[in-house]
A and B are shown apart, each in its own frame.
Chain A
Amino acid sequence: MRTYILFRVLQTIPVLIGISFVVFALLLYSPGDPAVINLRAIMNTEHPPEEAVAAMRIEMNLDKPWYIQYWSWLARVSTGDLGYSYQSRRSTVEEVGNAFPVTFLLSTLAMFFSCIVAIPLGILSGMRQNSCIDHITRAVSIIGLSIPDFFIGIIGIMVFAVYLNWVPVAGYEGFEYLILPAIALAVGMCAITIRLMRTSMAEVLEEDYIRTAKSKGISQRLVVQRHALKNAIIPVITYMGTQYGWLFGGSMIIESLFAIPGLGRLFVESASTRDIMVLQGCVLVFALVFVFLNLGVDILQYILDPRVRQEYE
């Protein structure tokens, strides 16, 4: 297993290098001079003097070819220095650090809501194919898949926050503020998970070993619990792992709609105000979340699926 983990970790290195290029390119090709932006933050003036800009360009290596700039940027970033926010004058690390836990909590809650609804429904639907509950579940999942999350968010606000007054409309002053946005985020994921779980369960239930188990007189519930579920859930876990990354990135619209100060909203705001260094920080975090999630999913798959183990041993 150690060899496999090492192999997968080594595989992420070229991906991380690729990411660093993309993030650096943001600095290089975004409108606005990074030296001026940096000086605005340091000197607290909209129009820093030309001499100061020239000196800062030298200090930031902006007068050098792009590859030297890239190396010096990478050296700075590797020490945890992601620069300053032009807007708030705080460090990017602080900005991203404040927003990250909120988005993490929101995505995890969405994932949780999605799991507790989708997996049982998917299993039930797969076990009772073409039954009434299967048809209803499939119809609901198609509807869930076709409605955009922001629309679900708006409808959710109108029903549960405005009329029923069960949850707050927007803002972030506690855990309860995340319930509605998490549900809005979860619906799309839930719909796909139901369909995936159903198909996977239905396929597994057709396997010979299940038939053998059934012929031994074991009840369907036990067959599913002891034999089918473990195999049927592997593709679902793989999907959910990557989907968690999408939840993280997809939080942009939902966070803006619900006025939640997370990474998604920070990304949208920094993009609209050309707060390049914060934008870089957000992109870096989004990318790293994807990379490490994929790594985690692969390792989990290695543990759960003997076929993968066989391939690498």
Chain B
Amino acid sequence: MAKLLTFFCLVLLLFCNTMVLAEGGGKTLDIAAPWDAKTTDPHVNGAIAQRMGVTETLVDINDEALISPGLATSWDVSGDQKTWTFHLRDGVKFHDGTPFTAQAMKKSLEDSLKKSQTFSSVPIQEIQAVDDKTLKIVLKSSFPSLPAYMAKGESAALSEASIDQGDISIPYSTGPFKFSSYTPKEKYVGVKNPDYWGKIPSVDEVVYHVVPEAETRSMMLKGGDVQIAQILSPDITEGYKSSGSFTINTEPISRDRILSYNCESGPFADTAVRKAMNYAINRQDLINYVLEGVGESATSLFPPTFYWGNKDIKAYPYDPEKAKSMLAEAGWKDSNNDGILDKDGKKFSITLVTYPERAELPQMAEIIQDELKKIGIDVQVKSVDIDTSETLKNSGDFDMYLGGRSLMNAPDPDWILMADYHSSGTFNNGYGPYHWKSEKLDSLLGEARSLTDQAARKKIYDQVQEIINDEAPVSVLSYYVNQDVTSNSVKGYRMHPTEFAFHLEDVSLS
């Protein structure tokens, strides 16, 4: 037995030794995050390559979540709003040394259109390389959010040699980091691109570790295995508050928690009842009791800190008495004194469907259930898996649906408003209200598509948000807030409100 134990100890020491020997070399920045890149082909799934600074796109997204120049320094649109001209940046080289030209970008975008579902709703007719530095995209119809789509990771600029690979295993793009390796479900590695056209990174290598468990990401940070742990829950970050060795970074992101109503049948077909819900739910309670205070109570669909948010919309205050009187005006009274409101012999008994894949949602549903009970509404919470919840919602087999919704999958309001609030969206499978139609909203969204002037579009989208707020086909409850923790050796790290980029070229390690 003693021999066995000695053997075991020796093996253990050998492993530890190997591990120590493996360390060293240039400056490596390690990040732990929950999502996997899934593929090396950015035209299939481009988010991680883009965030890591490996790929770049024609259009960038700045820290105010607005589109800004990327590989295209400027762009303009023809009078009929159908031809977009992108003027490409000079002096840019792909990672394989070939120059970045309009011809290469054309080939790249055509590959992306073929492979990615991202552009299925974009009416692209033709892509033309006018000269080395001018690219034209001809549309079948006006589509003002085209530049926003050109910012998505799937529209990454890749060299012609990359495209010739078919299924791209080595993407040669133009970013501050070159693709080094990808191991599914483990890590994505980039190395410094010394020929980058912009700011040359100070770290030599960046390693993105795929770690789905938040607690494990936190332990990796504490153990020194990584310097940045992304998306930690408030209860985890709480433990870092008293530590002087780490920095907690907090950033509201473009994602809402939304309560959608079945506007076709049941009590929520009545606008007054939907509006009453906005007074009956205490949004701050949901944040305090479920999110430990980390989150922001919502007013309009887009957070007011974003350009597209309507800053004039006043939040519905928590006022259960007003909610009660509005319901009474709408004919809902407790005629048999059983504590539940009724109308025309029907009780105000409803189902609230939600899913546990976002852990906070079922807990929030229970608080909503409790708050609505106080004003005489009987709520049955159905927390089912996300697929089942979507099936229930899309078939109208629900009264209220609580879910999370990303707002800036393309950094332009057109994307989510057309999909979720235009009647062509609400009468299909979707994430907005169910069977709700506003002719005014439909015409405003149509009008916004005919304009390219941002300020004019903003005015329209402000009106659209007012309509959504007034008619309450959904109640926007809160905005998501992400928390990343970095070790104090990391300098220059900043979080992005749309999660499009990590800006690792700005990060240095001390």
Q: Identify the A interface with B (CB < 8 A).
A: 31-32, 44-47, 87-90, 98, 113, 116, 120, 124, 154, 157-158, 161-162, 165-176, 179, 256-259, 261, 265-266, 269, 272, 274
Judge whether B387 and A44 touch: CB under 8 Å. no
In the assembled complex, how far is the CB of residue B328 from the closest CB belonging to chain A, in whole angstroms?
40
Judge whether A98 and B184 touch: CB under 8 Å. yes
Can you report 26 A-B residue pairs in the complex whose CB atoms are below 8 A from each other? A32-B387, A44-B117, A46-B120, A88-B39, A116-B8, A120-B1, A120-B4, A124-B1, A154-B219, A157-B216, A157-B219, A161-B219, A169-B219, A169-B220, A169-B222, A170-B211, A173-B187, A174-B18, A175-B15, A176-B15, A176-B16, A256-B213, A259-B212, A265-B212, A269-B212, A274-B387
- Residues of chain B lying within 8 A (CB to CB) of residue A272: 357
- Assembled-state Cα–Cα distance A166/B186 (Å): 21
Judge whether A171 and B211 touch: CB under 8 Å. yes
Judge whether A170 and B4 touch: CB under 8 Å. no
- Residues of chain B lying within 8 A (CB to CB) of residue A87: 38
The reply on B232 being an interface residue by CB < 8 A is no
- Residues of chain A lying within 8 A (CB to CB) of residue B116: 44
* Chain A residue with Cβ nearest B118: A46
- Residues of chain A lying within 8 A (CB to CB) of residue B39: 88-89
The reply on B210 being an interface residue by CB < 8 A is yes
The reply on B126 being an interface residue by CB < 8 A is no
* Chain B residue with Cβ nearest A166: B16
- Assembled-state Cα–Cα distance A179/B18 (Å): 13
Decide if the interface of chain A is mainly helix, strand, loop or mixed: loop
Total A-B pairs, Cβ < 8 A: 109
Known: A31-B385, A31-B391, A44-B115. A259 touches B219 (CB 8 A): no
Interface size on B, residues (CB 8 A): 40
* Chain B residue with Cβ nearest A253: B213
CB contact list, B1-44 vs A, under 8 A: 1, 4-5, 8, 12, 15-16, 18-19, 22, 38-39, 44
* Chain A residue with Cβ nearest B114: A44
Judge whether B213 and A259 touch: CB under 8 Å. yes
The reply on B209 being an interface residue by CB < 8 A is yes
Known: A31-B388, A170-B211, A259-B211. A165 touches B38 (CB 8 A): no
The reply on B223 being an interface residue by CB < 8 A is yes
Apart from A120-B4, A259-B209, what are 15 other A-B pairs with CB-CB below 8 Å?
Answer: A31-B391, A45-B120, A116-B5, A116-B8, A158-B219, A167-B19, A168-B225, A169-B216, A169-B219, A171-B209, A171-B211, A171-B220, A259-B186, A259-B216, A269-B212
The reply on B215 being an interface residue by CB < 8 A is yes
Known: A44-B115, A170-B211. A179 touches B12 (CB 8 A): yes
Quick one: which of A32, A45, A120, A154 contacts B117, CB cutoff 8 A? A45
The reply on B224 being an interface residue by CB < 8 A is yes
In the assembled complex, how far is the CB of residue B362 from the closest CB belonging to chain A, in whole angstroms?
15
Judge whether A168 and B223 touch: CB under 8 Å. yes
* Chain B residue with Cβ nearest A157: B219
- Assembled-state Cα–Cα distance A105/B225 (Å): 23
* Chain A residue with Cβ nearest B390: A31
- Assembled-state Cα–Cα distance A274/B357 (Å): 12
- Assembled-state Cα–Cα distance A168/B1 (Å): 28
- Assembled-state Cα–Cα distance A266/B183 (Å): 14
- Assembled-state Cα–Cα distance A215/B246 (Å): 69
Q: Fill in one digit per residue for B160-193: 1 if any A CB lies within 8 Å of its CB, else 0.
A: 0000000000000000000000011111000000
Across the A-B interface, the 10 shortest Cβ-Cβ residue pairs = A31-B387, A176-B15, A261-B185, A120-B1, A169-B223, A259-B211, A162-B223, A169-B220, A45-B117, A176-B19
* Chain A residue with Cβ nearest B388: A31
Judge whether A257 and B216 touch: CB under 8 Å. yes
Judge whether B12 and A169 touch: CB under 8 Å. no
Judge whether B213 and A257 touch: CB under 8 Å. yes
* Chain A residue with Cβ nearest B391: A31
Judge whether B38 and A259 touch: CB under 8 Å. no
Judge whether B387 and A116 touch: CB under 8 Å. no
- Assembled-state Cα–Cα distance A88/B12 (Å): 35
Judge whether B223 and A161 touch: CB under 8 Å. yes
CB contact list, B198-244 vs A, under 8 A: 209-213, 215-216, 219-220, 222-225
In the assembled complex, how far is the CB of residue B363 from the closest CB belonging to chain A, in whole angstroms?
19
In the assembled complex, how far is the CB of residue B408 from the closest CB belonging to chain A, in whole angstroms?
18
- Residues of chain B lying within 8 A (CB to CB) of residue A261: 183-186
* Chain A residue with Cβ nearest B16: A166
- Residues of chain B lying within 8 A (CB to CB) of residue A161: 219, 223, 225
* Chain B residue with Cβ nearest A90: B184
In the assembled complex, how far is the CB of residue A53 from the closest CB belonging to chain B, in whole angstroms?
14
- Residues of chain B lying within 8 A (CB to CB) of residue A167: 15-16, 19
Known: A89-B44, A161-B219, A176-B18. A170 touches B1 (CB 8 A): no
Judge whether B38 and A88 touch: CB under 8 Å. yes
- Residues of chain A lying within 8 A (CB to CB) of residue B213: 170, 256-257, 259
Judge whether A170 and B387 touch: CB under 8 Å. no
Judge whether B225 and A170 touch: CB under 8 Å. yes
- Residues of chain A lying within 8 A (CB to CB) of residue B222: 162, 169
* Chain B residue with Cβ nearest A274: B387
Known: A31-B391, A162-B222. A168 touches B120 (CB 8 A): no
Residue from B5, B184, B211, B387 whose CB has the most chain A CB atoms within 10 Å:
B184
Q: Fill in one digit per residue for B33-66: 1 if any A CB lies within 8 Å of its CB, else 0.
A: 0000011000010000000000000000000000
In the assembled complex, how far is the CB of residue B61 from the closest CB belonging to chain A, in whole angstroms?
22
Judge whether B216 and A170 touch: CB under 8 Å. yes
* Chain A residue with Cβ nearest B209: A171
In the assembled complex, how far is the CB of residue B199 from the closest CB belonging to chain A, in whole angstroms?
29
- Residues of chain B lying within 8 A (CB to CB) of residue A259: 186, 209-213, 216
- Residues of chain B lying within 8 A (CB to CB) of residue A154: 215, 219
Known: A120-B4, A274-B387. A172 touches B186 (CB 8 A): yes
Judge whether B16 and A258 touch: CB under 8 Å. no
- Assembled-state Cα–Cα distance A45/B388 (Å): 21
In the assembled complex, how far is the CB of residue A293 from the closest CB belonging to chain B, in whole angstroms?
24
Known: A31-B391, A89-B39, A120-B4. A168 touches B219 (CB 8 A): no
- Residues of chain A lying within 8 A (CB to CB) of residue B212: 256, 259, 265, 269
- Assembled-state Cα–Cα distance A176/B1 (Å): 23
- Residues of chain A lying within 8 A (CB to CB) of residue B12: 179
- Assembled-state Cα–Cα distance A65/B131 (Å): 59
- Assembled-state Cα–Cα distance A307/B386 (Å): 54
* Chain B residue with Cβ nearest A87: B38
- Assembled-state Cα–Cα distance A107/B385 (Å): 30
Judge whether B120 and A47 touch: CB under 8 Å. yes
* Chain B residue with Cβ nearest A177: B19
